[in-house]
Chains A and B, each alone.
Chain A
Amino acid sequence: MKKSPIDRRNFIKKMAMLSAMTAAASMFPGIIFASEQEKGIPKDANLDWKKGPCRFCGVGCGILVGVENGKPIAVKGDPNSKVNKGLLCVKGYHQTMCIQSKDRLEHALVKKNGRYVKTPLNEALDIVANKMKETIAAHGKDSVAMYTSGQSTIPEGYIASKLMKGAIGTNNLDCNARLCMASAVTGFMTSFGADEPMGCYEDIDYADYFVTWGNNMAEMHPVLFSRMLEQKTKRGAKIIDFATRTTRSSTASDRSILFEPQTDLAVANAICYEIIKNGWVNKSFVEKHCTFSKGLTNMGYGLEDHYEFTDKPEQIDFEAYKEFLKDYSPEKVSKYSKVSVKDIKYLARIFGDPNKKVVSYWCMGMNQHTRGTWINNLVYNIHLLTGKISQPGNGPFSLTGQPSACGTAREVGTFTHKLPKGVVTNEENRRLAAKIWKVPYERIPSKPTYHATEMFRAVDRGDIKFIWTQATNPLVSLPKTGRYRPGMQKDSCFVVVSDVFPTPTSDVADVILPASWHIEKGGLYGNSERRTQYWEKMVEGPGETTADAWMFIEVAKRMGYGDLFPYSKENHVEEIYNEYIQFHEGNKHGMAPLEVLKKESGVIWPYVDGKSTQWRYNAKYDPACSNGEDFHFYGKPDGKAVIWQRPFEDAPEKPDEEYPFWLNTGRVIEHWHTGSMTRRIPVLHQAMPHAYAEFHPEDAKALGIRNGEKIKIVSRRGSCTLPASINERGLPTKGQVFVPFFDENMLINDVTLDAFCPISKEPDYKKCAVKVVKA
């Protein structure tokens, strides 16, 4: 139907308004236009508002989607959501605009003689199931793999795990959360014995200081940052930005402290040195609730195939720890961290002041780090030494990137070593999974296989002969894509990709499955603060688009596992969730029943006796504390948290004469990860149409580079050509180049290094050495 001139005019006015608001968002960190979408809604519209979580980041804002005649017309922030209280960022407001994109994957496509042929979904699923069965018969269970996402829903992650580990009997399941959250998980597990933050977003309302460690919350967690700015204005709370690059978060902070890449390890130790030296240790807390340990050092960086590492923890005492810290006096650390002695002492004083409440926030800067587990441990050390943990306004808080990195990847456990409760190496955990899944206990293998990077190395080597990816785009997001793209193109591996839009990953697929977008199916997500959010299907998807969970079930049935997947198409989300929550029963991880989630705008776990536990390990708030003390770190058998002795160790590749710059990669506010959704939202695409390489102006001058000029960034692995950006959005330190990774036409991950943290196996996208030449 042709649009009337009035409709068209209104549409253009709305676009004009969105452009203005997007421009504002790129100028003011955390800016919020609360009523923007409602203004654009026609007065006579008869909208049915349906609640759910935002499709994008791990903040997990509640949204209300206005649906008219089966179409999503508008999105607004859910005023009942405790996360965002009605606010949304630019991505959140515009999210549903991508689903009508012209190149939406609406039907299954099967590659025949080098060309994609539109194929009925049933037939495509037959092909996938047969191929999986044949591959297993010919090469064994460990020749097939699945790579899922922190954007998959909880039921999708659960069914993927049940299919791979319970039905087929292989641990060849990993997910893209390995690339963003694995170090946070190993940090939590080693320090506390239980995953996920102890506090919640309400900490923002009580903290006197927010210390942000290597993250740019103004762009990556904008709604939380706007809540922090509100507290800054209202109560005089202070934001301290500790980073390697000056960003919008830095300019909106009270103090910006810059450090040399990788030396955050040393600075964190120097803060602890100062805390001890000045007598700021909370002695009774440490004596009652902490132990001290050290692990192996010089672990390597996982650069070689088949790399393996297992830490050997050894208990030490406070005196040994104090002795170790002698190498980390502010004076010594200042020399190589480029942080002044004054600034190190300033940071230590903030944590050391018993009258000030402090929250530490971090995300990819600490996690995507070849010593990611260590730096997570070291920040916990600071909070443990001072007892600033598990109380309103006091605590370390690891933020997630993806909307369900916690809910799906970490809680359901779509990692090779994980089960919905516990790990595959633990017999009791395997027995519980076998019981709930109704499979023989022996079928679940006890040894983890491939983490993400190693999984794609195995594809390249020809060890994995079938891989199925969902809701993820590894050929843009993996490090060193220059190796993994040709690897996935090899005939030795059959590639199945389920997604909503075509991507460079679907370009190498043998079968492409048309996935539903989140509001076209029901589901559950879990955000950074342990909040589980449910939504029901809001609109019909186009063509044969189908929920990933249902496609897994269909394939499982075709492979002969139908009895293990007895779910109905209409109610599978509900049925799967009810089965899944049996894994978490009890007061340490109890999940809210679905009836509660249907009513509420998300509920934080542990959910005990009809109540959320907002601060874990604190007896005042957490009914699972049972040691009779104020605090109980019950994740560890002795009920105590661990303060870890972890040294500073260099990055595997540092700038040298031939490659004189650090390369740092990351995100921008307008785009969600690899841009496959947000680049299809006109207003976001126009606001940030392509990637760029940020330089320090003095470096640009020395290289003779002008703003906008095409340059080539070259590493030992590959190169990428982009326009230079000088004094625009961010300002890297001298000797550093920053490039966002959202642009599939400028693949910066061809340049990055696939080194990872030996404990978490999470790659470091923030540090490698490059040179810059004119294109």
Chain B
Amino acid sequence: MPIKSYLAHPVPGKKEELMEALIRLGQCEVIPAKNQDVLALVTDTPDELSEELLKEKIEALESLKLLSLVSGFNVSQN
């Protein structure tokens, strides 16, 4: 049950677009910075494989310039 947090840096001018795309992907919680071009992102997936797949999808987003991992937690289900 991984929970990971990232900083997602959008392509200039595409902050809103990136935010919407991430929300559409599901399993993502996003908080945009108010005065900088960066989003704080937390992913919450059932297992490592889903996490990898989600990460691939995020990295394929056209509005994303750079994704940097901040922290990772693996939470057992009970």
Contacts and interface: CB of A to CB of B under 8 A. Distances in A.
B34 to A, nearest CB: 4
B31 A32 contact: no
Nearest to A87: B34
Interface stretch (A15-23, A411-419, A488-496): A15-23
A16 B71 contact: yes
Q: Is the interface of A mostly helix, strand, loop or mixed?
A: helix
Question: What's the interface size class on A, roughly?
Answer: 20 to 34
A31 B29 contact: no
Q: Is the interface of B mostly helix, strand, loop or mixed?
A: strand
A24 B35 contact: no
Most A CB contacts (10 A, CB to CB) among B31, B41, B73 go to: B31
A35 B19 CA distance: 14
Interface in B30-45: 31-36, 38, 40-42, 44
Interface stretch (A4-12, A150-158, A505-513, A646-654): A4-12
B34 A34 contact: yes
A33 interface: yes
Contacts of B4: 16
Interface of B: 1, 3-7, 29, 31-36, 38, 40-42, 44, 70-71, 73, 75, 77-78
B31 A13 contact: no
Contact of B35 (A5, A23, A30, A35): A30
20 contacts: A5-B75, A5-B77, A9-B1, A9-B44, A12-B3, A12-B73, A13-B3, A13-B42, A16-B4, A16-B70, A16-B73, A17-B5, A20-B40, A21-B31, A23-B70, A24-B40, A32-B35, A33-B32, A229-B35, A230-B35
A629 B29 CA distance: 59
A459 B69 CA distance: 51
A226 interface: yes
A617 B37 CA distance: 41
Interface in A25-51: 27-28, 30-36, 39
A33 B42 CA distance: 14
Contacts of A16: 3-5, 42, 70-71, 73
Contact of B38 (A31, A36, A226): A31
A15 B29 CA distance: 13
Contacts of A28: 33, 36, 38
Interface of A: 5, 8-9, 12-13, 15-17, 19-21, 23-24, 27-28, 30-36, 39, 87, 226, 229-230
A772 B69 CA distance: 35
Nearest to A4: B78
A33 B3 contact: no
A13 B33 contact: no
A12 B1 CA distance: 11
Nearest to A23: B70
A15 B34 CA distance: 20
B7 to A, nearest CB: 6
A285 B62 CA distance: 59
Nearest to A19: B71
Contacts of A230: 35
A32 B4 CA distance: 21
A19 B33 contact: no
